[in-house]
């Protein structure tokens, strides 16, 4: 679950009635709690449940945050950062990353994971995010090539 993405989607759906979310099992066996200003009416409950049901998280992790550019050398021997992508829902939508403005399609259909390697010829910051991140992923990774 991407709490920040889910929180943002709930706030967009519920407006100022939304206070926040919390995680933990309560006396009724509920794990996720949506906190609102007043006791929710049916429309508010339905809207919150729809957002939660649609939540399709994508989690990103980098094995390192900096790499050495390969310069004029061979890209095959370049220093690499591996980005692991996890889409835990069995029915997850396709995952497309944006890497420096370029789309990179991944296949998470087999086990929910895929990886992409990042290399760089020159120095700079390489930003990696999920395309269409609403209710999926709030995180942007940055790999520094120095």
Q: Dump pLDDT digits (tens) for 24-66.
A: 776 666 688 888 888 888 888 889 889 888 888 999 999 999 9
Q: How far apart are CA 121 and CA 76, in angstroms?
A: 11
Q: Dump pLDDT digits (tens) for 123-143.
A: 999 999 999 888 888 889 999
Do residues 99 and 112 both lie within one domain? yes
Do residues 20 and 91 both lie within one domain? no
Compute the average pLDDT of residues 98-119: 92
Q: Which of 54, 72, 89 is the last residue of a domain?
A: 54
Contact between 145 and 126 (Cβ < 8 Å): yes
Do residues 85 and 138 both lie within one domain? yes
Q: How far apart are CA 55 and CA 10, in angstroms?
A: 10
What CATH number should be reported for the domain holding residue 135? Answer: 2.60.40
Q: How far apart are CA 107 and CA 96, in angstroms?
A: 9
CB count within 10 Å of CB 45 equals 13
pTM above 0.85, yes or no: no
Contact between 125 and 142 (Cβ < 8 Å): yes
Residue range of the domain that includes 33? 3-54
Contact between 13 and 40 (Cβ < 8 Å): no
């Amino acid at each position: 679950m991407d709490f920040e993405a889910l929180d943002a989607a709930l706030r967009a759906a519920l407006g100022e009635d939304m206070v926040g979310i919390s995680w933990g099992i309560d006396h009724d066996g509920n794990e996720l709690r949506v906190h609102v200003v007043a006791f929710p009416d049916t429309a508010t409950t339905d809207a919150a449940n729809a957002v939660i049901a649609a939540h399709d998280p994508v989690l990103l992790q980098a094995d390192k945050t900096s790499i050495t550019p390969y310069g004029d050398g061979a890209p095959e021997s370049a220093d690499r950062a591996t980005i692991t992508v996890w889409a835990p829902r069995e029915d997850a939508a396709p995952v497309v990353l944006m890497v420096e403005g370029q789309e990179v399609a991944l296949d998470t259909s087999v086990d929910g994971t895929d990886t992409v390697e990042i290399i760089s010829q020159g120095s700079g910051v390489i930003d990696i995010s999920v395309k269409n991140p609403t209710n999926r992923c709030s995180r942007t990774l940055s790999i520094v090539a120095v």
